[in-house]
């Protein structure tokens, strides 16, 4: 017979009874002797070498137990880097919904380029340098048929419509598309057959409209009749368009809204290229403006308005035409651009303008500007057709006057990569010549 808590049982029942009761034993329904148990545990610890408090216990039972950010995931009882998990992003998301991505260093972060869908709202873009969601600063960050609202930093994705005057899309006119919604909207404009033009359009006050030329064909043409090609009272993002042939009016009039013009031609409009009035603003990138039109200013900025022009080509016609005209008090910046005129008058009439790293016929002063001598139409592919791509002579004449800076357009008018190295010289103007 064996002892089992002071009782006698048949050992054949295999009830775990032992010949002698252990030091910390107590009868069923009773309580242990604290002193006996403490003494027994101390002796067992000394003999085994285990810690009296942790023993061989795991370091963690769940990710919540892992407080070291460098080892945020619990695996097999150990806190490890998230990169060691079978599904790193899922492991981070389960640990903390606010940090649902696994960064390259093994820590859980807000986002990575591979998990950019974690970013939304007014911070839709992942900054890989900090692994945090930030505001968008370029349309390309929002997707192929979306636009960045430079006002809020959010992506315009809820309203996207296509316009093709030849049929087969959502609308046949720009005005019809503008009636789609009162909110921000992206309008994808498809080129008409036979190089025909769409009628001009107005971007109403307080509206944000992105009007982008479709990438699957030539730039769609817009021509104003009785109004400018584009009249901007709200905010317009214009890209990959050709606004030409407008009678009497400029190609674009900003009155008093804001326009962001990118990779577009605004050429051969009788009233000039881009006129900014009544406190309007214009940001111009990678665009060609002007043409052989006499007695009109290519870019005209009134006293309360502003223009910021980078990597663009401004070409004025004859008579009293000027490439850049501003009222006293206007805020105007021109950088990395070509500014020339066929007219035998001042190419630039813009008091207070900041001009830098650009090419003019005569150097106007300012940092890094160059003078290339008397106007030569042969510098360009076809002035008569509003095509200001550089010829071999133009490449030689304008050289590498521009200096690319961080934040400048990474591509040129045709989508070719620019130097993309801060402080590096390259050709000025909208067209980056290919060797």
Q: Is 282:261 a contact under the CB 8 Å cutoff?
A: yes
- pLDDT for 22 equals 58
Residues 96 and 171 in one domain: no
Judge whether 434 lies within some domain: no
Tokens of 397: 């004449």
Q: Is 60:66 a contact under the CB 8 Å cutoff?
A: yes
- pLDDT for 32 equals 52
DSSP H or E stretch at residue 174: helix 174-178
- Check which CATH number belongs to the domain holding 202 and give it: 2.160.20
Mean pLDDT of 39-61: 55
Distance CA 197, CA 220 (A): 7
232-280 pLDDT, tens digit per residue, is 999 999 999 999 999 999 999 999 999 999 999 999 999 999 999 999 9
Give the total residue count for the chain. Answer: 435
Residues 150 and 267 in one domain: yes
Residues 174 and 81 in one domain: no
Residues 200 and 77 in one domain: no
Residues 225 and 349 in one domain: yes
Cis? peptide before 125, omega within 30° of 0: no
Residues 223 and 255 in one domain: yes
Helical segments of 26-87, H only: 34-48
Domain span including residue 35? 2-48
- pLDDT for 350 equals 95
319-375 pLDDT, tens digit per residue, is 999 999 999 999 999 999 999 999 887 899 999 999 999 999 998 889 999 999 999
Confidence check: pLDDT of 313 > 60: yes
**Pairing relationship of beta strands 155-156 and 78-80 according to DSSP bridges:** unpaired
Judge whether 202 lies within some domain: yes
- pLDDT for 27 equals 55
pTM (2 decimals)? 0.82
Residues 38 and 176 in one domain: no
pLDDT band at 283 (very low <50, low <70, confident <90, very high): very high
18-48 pLDDT, tens digit per residue, is 566 655 555 554 445 545 544 444 444 444 4
Judge whether 320 lies within some domain: yes
Residues 268 and 128 in one domain: no
Judge whether 300 lies within some domain: yes
- pLDDT for 181 equals 84
Judge whether 118 lies within some domain: yes
Domain count, the chain: 3
């Amino acid at each position: 017979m064996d002892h089992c808590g002071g009782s006698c049982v048949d050992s054949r029942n295999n009830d775990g009874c032992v010949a002698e009761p252990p030091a910390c034993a107590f009868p069923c329904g009773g309580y242990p002797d604290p002193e006996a148990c403490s003494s027994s545990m101390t002796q067992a610890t000394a003999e085994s070498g285990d810690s009296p408090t942790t023993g061989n216990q795991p370091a963690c039972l769940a990710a919540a137990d892992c407080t070291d950010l460098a080892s945020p995931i619990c695996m097999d009882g150990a806190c490890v880097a998230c990169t060691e998990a079978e599904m790193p992003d899922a492991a981070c998301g389960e640990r903390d919904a606010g940090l649902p991505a696994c960064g390259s260093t093994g820590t859980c972060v807000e986002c990575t380029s591979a998990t950019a869908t974690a970013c939304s709202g007014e911070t839709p873009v992942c900054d890989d340098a900090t692994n945090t969601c930030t505001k968008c600063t370029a349309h390309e960050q929002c997707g192929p048929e979306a636009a960045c609202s430079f006002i809020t930093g959010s992506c315009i994705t809820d309203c996207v419509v296509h316009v093709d005057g030849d049929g087969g899309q959502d609308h046949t006119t720009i005005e019809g598309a503008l009636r789609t919604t009162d909110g921000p909207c992206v309008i994808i404009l498809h080129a008409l057959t036979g190089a025909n033009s769409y009628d001009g359009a107005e971007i109403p006050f307080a509206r944000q409209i992105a009007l982008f030329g479709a990438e699957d064909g030539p730039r769609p043409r817009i021509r104003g009749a009785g109004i400018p090609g584009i009249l901007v009272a709200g905010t317009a993002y214009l890209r990959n368009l050709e606004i030409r042939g407008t009678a009497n009016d400029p190609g674009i009039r900003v009155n008093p809204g804001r326009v962001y013009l990118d990779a577009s031609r605004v050429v051969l409009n009788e009233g000039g290229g881009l006129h900014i009035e009544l406190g309007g603003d214009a940001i111009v990138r990678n665009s060609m403006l002007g043409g052989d039109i006499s007695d009109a200013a290519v870019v005209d900025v009134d006293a309360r308005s502003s223009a910021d022009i980078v990597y663009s080509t401004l070409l004025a016609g004859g008579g009293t035409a000027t490439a850049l005209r501003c009222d006293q008090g206007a805020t105007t910046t021109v950088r990395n651009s070509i500014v020339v005129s066929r007219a035998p008058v001042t190419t630039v009439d813009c008091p207070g303008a900041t001009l830098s790293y650009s090419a003019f016929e005569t150097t106007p002063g300012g940092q890094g500007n160059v003078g290339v001598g008397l106007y030569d139409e042969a510098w360009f592919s076809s002035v008569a057709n509003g095509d200001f791509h550089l010829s071999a002579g133009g490449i030689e004449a304008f050289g590498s006057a521009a200096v690319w800076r961080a934040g400048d357009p990474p591509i040129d008018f045709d989508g070719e990569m620019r130097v993309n190295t801060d402080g590096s010289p390259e050709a000025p103007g909208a067209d980056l010549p290919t060797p």
